[in-house]
Amino acid sequence: MQFLHDNHYAVISLADAAKMISSGASEPLTHVSSGLTNLPSFQYSSIPQKNVVLTFDDGYSDFCDWALPELQKYGFSATVFLATGFVGENPKLFKGKECLTWIEIQELAHNGIEFGSHTVRHRRLIEMNREELRYEITVSKEAIEAKVAMPVEAFSYPFAFPDGHFEHISAIRKILQDNGFKCGVTTRIGRAAPADDALFLKRLPISEYDDIRLFKAKLGGAYDWLFWPQLLYKRALGSRSRGVRDCRA
């Protein structure tokens, strides 16, 4: 957070970043993702200035302990993606970790934190038919909107994004569009370019082992080349996979 502040990155919303992409901005956007509960993910653009979107997946309760104080220290906001099946009036566990409660989410929303859908149960969407997909996406969005009284327009795809499964991706896109989603993020590696689908933006991984030099390099595009090996690997893997449910059902 201090690096972003000291280097004059301005925090913007994920929706605004998606608008930059769809408008045909000539510079790529970078989205750096972390699976850690106490580290943020970032998205930036250098047009017209260095802009950053901070996002957090899964909605763990330690967001309040680790991330929120740093956000408030520098005047930053963020988007938190919730798997609503693990959110209740009392704390629930997901992957052995405590999740935010609805009361905490409402308080965070009043303090400028935005929320997006991460489905209901954080299941592998590639294994679902269309009816199940619609349930996971629609019910999650409706639950968040009912609790925070704000529109939910951002979606985070759980697990590895299924490049090569074109019918599945098309089905997901249609459901997202039907439900009013404007943008989304995935596990695709690299910076998002103007031609990219705003509903399935790339991200870059970070971890507690990254130093500032590596972090800066990632923001600058040093990992962009990894998208193509990742894409080829997933398509090859997808062509050999069996038992994937037909999303047209």
pLDDT at site 19 = 83
Give the best-scoring range by mean pLDDT among 37-41, 42-46, 228-232: 228-232
Output the CA torsion sign for 202, 205, 211, 214. Answer: negative
Q: What is the DSSP string of the chain?
A: -HHHHHTTPEE--HHHHHHHHHTT-SS-EEEEE--STT--EEEEE-SSS-EEEEEEEETBTTIIIIIHHHHHHHT---EEEE-GGG--SS--EETTEEBPPHHHHHHHHHTT-EEEE--SS---GGG--HHHHHHHHHHHHHHHHHHH-S---EEE--SS--TT-HHHHHHHHHHHHHTT--EEEEEEESEE-TTS-TTSEEEEE--TT--HHHHHHHHTTTTGGGHHHHHHHHHHHHHH---PPPTT-
Any domain includes 26? yes
Query: Which whole number is the average pLDDT over 175-203?
Result: 88
173 pLDDT more than 70: yes
Any domain includes 163? yes
d(CA 62, CA 60): 6
pLDDT at site 36 = 46
Any domain includes 245? no
37 vs 226 pLDDT, higher one? 226
Range of the structural domain that residue 29 is part of: 2-240
Phi/psi for 186 (5° steps) reads -135, -170
Lowest mean pLDDT, pick from 72-86, 145-159, 199-213: 199-213
Query: Which whole number is the average pLDDT over 6-13?
Result: 85
Contact 67, 78 (CB under 8 A): yes
Any domain includes 246? no
> The CATH number of the domain where 87 resides is what?
3.20.20.370
Lowest mean pLDDT, pick from 60-64, 130-134, 209-213: 209-213
Any domain includes 228? yes
**b/e code 156-172 from CB counts within 10 Å (16+ = b):** bbbeebbbbbeebbebb
pLDDT at site 120 = 98
Structural domains of the chain, count: 1
d(CA 101, CA 29): 32
Any domain includes 205? yes
Read off the pLDDT of residues 99-118 as tens digits, 9 standing for 90 and up.
Answer: 999 999 999 999 999 999 99
pLDDT at site 24 = 67
Any domain includes 149? yes
pLDDT at site 9 = 81
Confidence of residue 244 (pLDDT cuts 50, 70, 90): very low
Read off the pLDDT of residues 10-42 as tens digits, 9 standing for 90 and up.
Answer: 888 888 888 887 776 545 555 556 544 445 555
Contacts of residue 31, Cβ cutoff 8 Å, sequence gap at least 6: 17, 41, 42, 43, 53, 55, 185, 191, 192, 201, 202, 203, 204
Any domain includes 11? yes
- For the whole model, what pTM was predicted? 0.84
Query: Which whole number is the average pLDDT over 61-81?
Result: 94
